[in-house]
Amino acid sequence: MVLFPILDVAPKDGFIEYKELEAWNMQQAIDRLHYRTRRELEFRDNNGDGAISFSEYLPHFTNQDIEKNETSHGEAGWWMEQFRNADVDRNGTLNLYEFRDFLHPEDSRNENIQKWLLREKIRQMDVNRDHKLNRLEFSNGAYNIYKTYLEYESRGANIPTPLEAFAKLDVDGDKFLREEELKPILHYLCPGELSYAKVYTTYLIREADDNQDGKLTLDEILNHESIFYSTIYDNGRNEDLSHDEL
């Protein structure tokens, strides 16, 4: 009963529609990201300047490690590339918002970070190591992830075949997919807190919408109070929920 008037705002009509519930869940996700980032910044900021340097966050890497610039996953060069992507003002340190992009790249709007994510995803699926995906590599990797989300969102309706999905993404028609062409499905391939917030919104609507009209009344929420109580309780008090718990 506390939650309903908070959600019922656009318009305030006695119903909670998808967009209203989504706005709530998205804001909770943003608040969690901000809280976690601020807490990590305060913990790592050794000199108290309100920003994070590479050595403050990853002190185990020596200057020699950095100079080697080894770009294998988890090595100094790999981390340094992501650090530089996040360092938008190029001052050598990350402020709160840059640090949030660094810690939570899946939720970043930074184009360099998005490209970095997609390169990493391609690397995982790129069997012949040519830094792009052919139809088979796409079908065996990216498509299965994409299809899983589409099936949940649309309940199995109008799911494109692997060839149809590939052809739609292959804008230049060269029979390969590179980072830029995979950007339309980035939120499926590399889901973050904001993507999970949207999925969770769909889940809540489906669980509580007893008359299947696509919106919720107060009675429907009360009939399913446990899942909404969990939403308030978890979002308000447990900032360390994992995606699986959501």
Span 135-158, mean pLDDT? 90
Q: Residue 9 and residue 106: Cα distance in Å, rounded?
A: 29
CA gyration radius, the chain:
21
Instruction: Judge if the upstream peptide bond of residue 162 is cis by omega within 30 degrees of 0.
Output: no
pLDDT of residue 29: 94
pLDDT of residue 233: 52
Task: List, for residues 54-90, the tens digit of each pLDDT value.
Answer: 999 999 999 999 999 999 999 999 999 999 999 999 9
Residue 45's pLDDT band, with cuts at 50, 70 and 90, is very high
Q: Which amino acid type is present at position 222?
A: L
Span 112-134, mean pLDDT? 96
Q: Residue 48 and residue 176: Cα distance in Å, rounded?
A: 48
pLDDT of residue 238: 46
Residue 113's pLDDT band, with cuts at 50, 70 and 90, is very high
Phi, psi of 89 (to 5 degrees): -85, 0
Residue 246's pLDDT band, with cuts at 50, 70 and 90, is very low
Dihedral of alpha carbons 155, 230, 198, 107, sign: negative
Q: Residue 156 and residue 178: Cα distance in Å, rounded?
A: 27
Question: Distance from CA of residue 152 to its chain's centroid?
Answer: 17
Q: Are 21 and 215 in contact (CB under 8 A)?
A: no
Q: Which residues pair with 133 in a beta bridge?
A: 177
Q: What is the pTM of this model?
A: 0.86
Nearest to 29 by CA among 235, 238, 242: 235
Q: Residue 170 and residue 180: Cα distance in Å, rounded?
A: 10
Task: List, for residues 9-20, the tens digit of each pLDDT value.
Answer: 999 999 999 999
Q: Residue 126 and residue 42: Cα distance in Å, rounded?
A: 39
Residue 153's pLDDT band, with cuts at 50, 70 and 90, is confident
pLDDT of residue 240: 46
Residue 227's pLDDT band, with cuts at 50, 70 and 90, is confident
